[in-house]
Amino acid sequence: MIVHEGFRKTLRTLEQPPHGTFLTAARQPIEPTLGLVTTMKTTAALLLACMAAPAFAAEMSHSNSDMTPMQHEYMMTMETMQKSMHEGGMEKDADVAFAKGMLAHHKAALDMARIELKYGKDAEMRKLAEDIIKAQQAEIDQMETWVKKHQK
């Protein structure tokens, strides 16, 4: 809830500028005498709020629901994977983007296989989870080594 309260406080600060404060088109307060400093502080607060938003959304989307612990673990795994895949996709080098995206995908597969072993009961699915862990860990190691050598 720390993120939640900080996020709320930041929003209140940005929504209600002090009396006599001028606003830019982007609703950033600029005081006539300290315009640059105020704008920088507001920009920093806005950046912090944006950085906290994904964690806040993840917390809110999972904390108030009727999900089981297994479902919660799956959702957190998927959110982590999506974030990491997106970061990989932002790479300008196609090979690095592919490797980073696949790393995120394979790591999520490992996490999901571990969740299956933790909660699953079906022998066939548990065996599949074990096989996935063995096969994908080797591929993860290969890609991590490659990324270290080729990332600029």
**Range from 23-32, 46-55, 81-90 carrying the lowest mean pLDDT:** 23-32
Mean per-residue pLDDT, 41-64: 57
Cα atoms found within 13 Å of the Cα of residue 103, Cβ hemisphere only: 21
Question: How confident is the model at residue 87, as a pLDDT?
Answer: 87
- Cα–chain center distance at 79: 6
Asked if the model's pLDDT at residue 4 lies above 80, the reply is no
Task: Give exposure, 19-49, as e/b (b: 16+ Cβ within 10 Å).
Answer: eeeeeeeeebbbeeeeeeebbeebeebbeeb
Average pLDDT of the chain? 75
- pLDDT band, residue 1 (cuts 50/70/90): very low
Mean per-residue pLDDT, 50-64: 56
More confident residue, 141 or 41: 141
CA distance 113 to 125: 9
Asked if the model's pLDDT at residue 120 lies above 80, the reply is yes
The three-state secondary structure class of 31 is coil
Question: How confident is the model at residue 129, as a pLDDT?
Answer: 95
Question: How confident is the model at residue 103, as a pLDDT?
Answer: 92
Is-contact 127 146, C-beta < 8 A? no
List phi, psi (to 5°) of 30. -135, 115
Tokens of 61: 């989307």
Report which of 47, 86, 79, 42 is spatially closest to residue 60, judged by C-alpha positions. Answer: 79
Asked if the model's pLDDT at residue 61 lies above 50, the reply is yes
- CB-based contacts of 30, cutoff 8 Å, min separation 6: 21, 22, 23, 24, 38, 39
More confident residue, 54 or 130: 130
Mean per-residue pLDDT, 131-139: 92
Encode pLDDT of 10-38 as tens digits: 445 445 555 555 555 555 555 555 455 55
Judge residue 103's burial from the number of C-beta atoms within 10 Å of its C-beta, 0-12 exposed, 13-18 middle, 19 or more buried.
buried
